[in-house]
Structure 1
Amino acid sequence: MGIINLQEDNSLIRELTDRRVVESLPFAGRYRLIDFALSSMVNSGIQNVGIMLPDKPRSVLDHLRSGKDWDLARRHDGLFYLPAPHDEESRRRGDLKNFYYNLDFFEHSSQKYVLLAGGSFVYNINFNELLRFHQNTNADITMVYYTAAQEAAGRSTVIETAENGLVEDIAEKPAIYDGSKVSMNVFLMEKRIFVEMIRYSYEHGGQDLLLDGIIRRADEYNIYAYEHDGYVAHVDSTASYYKANMDILEPSVWEELFMGENSIYTKVKDEVPVQYKDTAVVKNSLIANGCIIRGEVENSILFRGVTIEEGVKVKNSIIMQKCDVQENSLLENVICDKNVVITKEKWLKGAQNYPLIVAKNVVI
């Protein structure tokens, strides 16, 4: 069975997560971040998926609905929503209380293994290879990691391993460095171990599943690490969200994520194709259905239903659904949230490593 935990820290990306969780952030023109973990599970044959809902679940529920677009609207198993307990039931912080209050769901499932994942990573993985690795090593817990190619800020779980993959050290750190082995918040274990971990950790005062259930009890488990050598992006800040979207414009990244054997699924919306008018000039950009382009767009991502009027120049920017950029405006290094209107002859420009953000429904 698959479990996607939506209880994640959004303190470094609050500008975009005021009314939504990180996992429901729009990404790459038509997707949401949760699509990558969920699609990888479905492509690996997982038919029973539980979604650990956050305190603000509306955007997630609206996107996933019955799970039909991921073939999870089933008579048996399928997609399940696991709500967080009310504050008066448990004042304890952290995600461990959510797992504990949904223990009956895990215990009554028929699957032998539990695959636990976060929803803020961008990747495309076949988890069947992870399962074979887990069985061959006789591990209690197998965690998936990637090797960082550059330094990055933001709290991450860094590990050290032996040559055979045995985890020798695991710790949460405020930054990662080039060459660090960084956890992707994906853990595979037998259900009996998972249930015991939740019950013991919560009943002994624990708050966080990773910290209290795994890191502090690491000596009690036989933990191995499995390396994913493909593309990985962790969206935990505004800068990392912007960079991950810009990475998608690289053909090698796009082809690995979306053009391989395993598809990434999302909520389907039937809209007309893009309309490129006579004055349109588009270079190295990703344009979703329903857009109307009369101006210039370069190195940018436009979501569904965006209108770019004549004389407009958009460069190195992310324009989300239903935005309207009116005549002779200029946008460079900008992120526009949904339903933004940029009126005539406005110039907006952010820094290359930190874009300017325009909040949802704003008129400038």
Structure 2
Amino acid sequence: MQELTAKRAVAAMPVAGSYRAIDFALSNMSNSHIQKVAVLTQFNARSLNEHLNSSKWWDFGRKQGGLYVFSPTITADNGYWYRGTADAIYQNLDFLKRCHEPYVIITSGDAVYKMDYNKVLEYHIDKKADITVVCKDLAPGEDATRFGTVHMNENFRIEEFEEKPMVANSRTISTGIYIIRRRLLIDLIEHCAEEDRYDFVTDILIRYKNLKKIYGYKIENYWSNISTVEDYYRTNMDFLKPETRNYFFKEYPEVFSRVSDLPPAKYNPGAVVKNCLVGSGSIINGNVENSVLFKRTFVGNNCVIKNSIILNDVYLGDNTYIENCIVESRGTIRANTRHVGENGVKVVIEKNERYAL
């Protein structure tokens, strides 16, 4: 994600005008009636922790269950940061041991999708699986080498699992969503820790693929991982398509997020806005086309913005021209400035301080 993750975790990246990436996974948990959710944070976690300061936005149970945020903690036994997904779970194993729920869902916070985890759980129980991996077939032309690729037999049991292969022999990828029995997960994680192994995919899924019954559950609906600048740009641009907006915002179940008390977007006389998402608290004076503007964006007079993403709290001075760009949050683009992404998407980060101008 280059400079975009210099001050925030990928899970805290703004998506679709007023959401964060992690909102989609949390909303799926809430809509699947999961009451106890733990978020393991580490890298640049301040913005993410701020976003997760209350469970009320996703309506997690506050008497039974709740939303727990765990960051690496120095203890008498351990002084490490999380060294992988398995190690992150191991460092918080006491939480799992104190729980009484029979199953655990593990998912990343950097994917945009809607899913009923209950259907995956029913499939998991029906197959008598030890682990169920949610999979998706990539469209022709998409790069599968950035993901873990899987090969399943006719019964959907996973026979081959390659993590980020040099050459992909399968178009079916793992989406990073897993269901596993809690007691089995504790056993596997403890075995990993004894052998100084830290990665969930390499040290559990791939090592145990012939010893444990690992099945794949295929999804057909929209799923997008935002682990690169190009994917992040494309995912936000997808929300300019009516079918994507309707799927996420007008069809049940809903997507929830932390709500900011901001006024509606204001369009001043002379503003021209076509096919855009504009966040609340924004003021528009110029021409904006095929773009996503997040909260508290100010667009000056005679500005032209095309095919771009403007993150939160950006001030665009008069006569600015922005095309094929992602403008980082809290930046000030000086008047009469021009930024164009000539070969792909350009990330614009202004180092100036607005109040010192």
Equivalence for 1:206: 197
**CA distance in structure 2 between the aligned counterparts of 1:102 and 1:84, rounded to whole angstroms:** 9
Match of 1:32 among 20, 24, 46: 20
Tell me if the contact between 1:151 and 1:175 (Cα under 8 Å) persists in the aligned partners: no
Assess, with a 3 A threshold, how the Cα gap between structure 1 residues 292 and 179 changes in structure 2: closer, same or farther.
Answer: farther
Equivalence for 2:113: 123
Match of 1:156 among 132, 147, 162: 147
Assess, with a 3 A threshold, how the Cα gap between structure 1 residues 160 and 322 changes in structure 2: closer, same or farther.
Answer: same
Match of 2:124 among 127, 134, 140: 134
Equivalence for 1:9: none
Instruction: Deviation per CA, 1:47-106: give whole Å up to 9, x if none.
Output: 000111214321111001021101126022110112224496237832322211211100
Instruction: Deviation per CA, 1:206-261: give whole Å up to 9, x if none.
Output: 12112112211211210111111001111111111111111111111121122211
Q: CA RMSD in A?
A: 2.1
Instruction: Deviation per CA, 1:316-335: give whole Å up to 9, x if none.
Output: 11111111111111000111
Tell me if the contact between 2:72 and 2:80 (Cα under 8 Å) persists in the aligned partners: no
Equivalence for 1:349: 340
The alignment partner of 2:107 has SS state of strand
The alignment partner of 1:305 has SS state of coil
Structure 1 stretch displaced more, 85-94 or 239-248: 85-94
Equivalence for 1:227: 218
Assess, with a 3 A threshold, how the Cα gap between structure 1 residues 95 and 86 changes in structure 2: closer, same or farther.
Answer: farther
Gaps of 5+ in 1: 1-12
Q: Indicate yes or no: 2:325 matched with 1:325.
A: no
Assess, with a 3 A threshold, how the Cα gap between structure 1 residues 195 and 360 changes in structure 2: closer, same or farther.
Answer: farther
The alignment partner of 2:148 has SS state of strand
Assess, with a 3 A threshold, how the Cα gap between structure 1 residues 230 and 176 changes in structure 2: closer, same or farther.
Answer: farther
**CA distance in structure 2 between the aligned counterparts of 1:288 and 1:133, rounded to whole angstroms:** 39
Equivalence for 2:102: 112
Equivalence for 2:49: 61
**CA distance in structure 2 between the aligned counterparts of 1:352 and 1:108, rounded to whole angstroms:** 52
Tell me if the contact between 1:145 and 1:181 (Cα under 8 Å) persists in the aligned partners: yes
Deviation at 1:131, TM superposition (A): 1.1
**Match runs of 1:64-79 below 5 Å:** 64-72=52-60, 74-79=62-67
**Match runs of 1:9-24 below 5 Å:** 13-24=1-12
Equivalence for 1:10: none
Structure 1 stretch displaced more, 188-197 or 254-263: 254-263
Match of 1:102 among 92, 98, 118: 92
What letter is aligned with 1:353?
G
TM-score, scaled to structure 1:
0.91
Deviation at 1:351, TM superposition (A): 3.1
Tell me if the contact between 1:154 and 1:237 (Cα under 8 Å) persists in the aligned partners: no
Equivalence for 1:49: 37
What letter is aligned with 2:306?
K
Tell me if the contact between 1:322 and 1:338 (Cα under 8 Å) persists in the aligned partners: yes
**CA distance in structure 1 between the aligned counterparts of 2:218 and 2:129, rounded to whole angstroms:** 15
Structure 1 stretch displaced more, 81-90 or 97-106: 81-90
Match of 2:176 among 179, 185, 189: 185
Match of 1:290 among 271, 281, 284: 281
**CA distance in structure 1 between the aligned counterparts of 2:310 and 2:169, rounded to whole angstroms:** 31
What letter is aligned with 2:112?
V
**CA distance in structure 2 between the aligned counterparts of 1:182 and 1:330, rounded to whole angstroms:** 39
Q: Indicate yes or no: 2:72 matched with 1:84.
A: yes
Gaps of 5+ in 2: none
Instruction: Deviation per CA, 1:7-48: give whole Å up to 9, x if none.
Output: xxxxxx131001211111111111111111111111001000
Deviation at 1:361, TM superposition (A): 6.4
Equivalence for 2:297: 306
Equivalence for 1:5: none
Assess, with a 3 A threshold, how the Cα gap between structure 1 residues 92 and 269 changes in structure 2: closer, same or farther.
Answer: closer
Tell me if the contact between 2:93 and 2:186 (Cα under 8 Å) persists in the aligned partners: yes
**CA distance in structure 2 between the aligned counterparts of 1:234 and 1:15, rounded to whole angstroms:** 18
**CA distance in structure 2 between the aligned counterparts of 1:92 and 1:126, rounded to whole angstroms:** 29
